[in-house]
Amino acid sequence: MIELKQFVFNPLQVNTWLIHVIGGDGILIDPACMTQQEFTQLTSFIDQQGIALKYIVNTHGHFDHVFGIGMVKSRYNVPFLIDRKDQALLGSAPHQAGVFGFDFPDPLSEPDGYLENGQLIRCGEIELEVIPVPGHSPGGTAFYLQSLGWLFSGDTLFAGSIGRSDLPGGDSGVIIKSITERLFPLPDNTRVFPGHGPETTIGREKRHNPYVGQVNS
């Protein structure tokens, strides 16, 4: 049985999502743990549940979502995947963190591979579909677990809001297009697990999200 564990890490309150089977495989989305205490919280859960971590995948390359990649890779030696268009953002993550007054933990990890539109990331019972959703960042990515109707939207779509587009590489028109053309066609009962804040559903956001406008089901 596939289960989901949510962690909320660092002062910017990033949602790190662990999709896993107890005693089986797991995929970690956006490891944002910044301190040793947060890292221990994550690894203690993984180890106690007997999870065999297979992939780290990131929705985008902003510093607050990549704090923990180096620490997790060092411990579990698993591949880290991100969209190639966010390579520059990833490389500048320590500088980004410094601008906001944070120290970036070492080391900064390079990707082991790059996400592609429609790619299926498989391990055990878990199969994640890669959906490009640029606008918050050039390489913004959502992950769709069709079998359970789960969508991991990163900082593209939030409950009642959308990701900011005023950071380098952002584009307000592009993020709206990503949401309306790539995410809103998913079933209304799709559960949306964003990069910050509470979960929502596609149907709720189509009807009530003030930044996108009402969309008929």
Q: What is the CATH class of 2-208?
A: alpha beta
**120-163 pLDDT tens trace:** 999 999 999 999 999 999 999 999 999 999 999 999 999 999 99
| DSSP tag of 181 | I
Burial 157-184 (b: 16+ CB within 10 A, else e): bbbebbbebeeebbbeebbbebbeebbb
**40-84 pLDDT tens trace:** 999 999 999 999 999 999 999 999 999 999 999 999 999 999 999
**Omega of the bond prior to 107 within 30 degrees of 0, cis?**
yes
Model confidence at 217, pLDDT cuts 50, 70, 90, reads very low
Which percentage of the chain shows pLDDT scores above 90?
A: 94
For the whole model, what pTM was predicted?
0.96
Element at 93 (helix H, strand E): helix 93-99
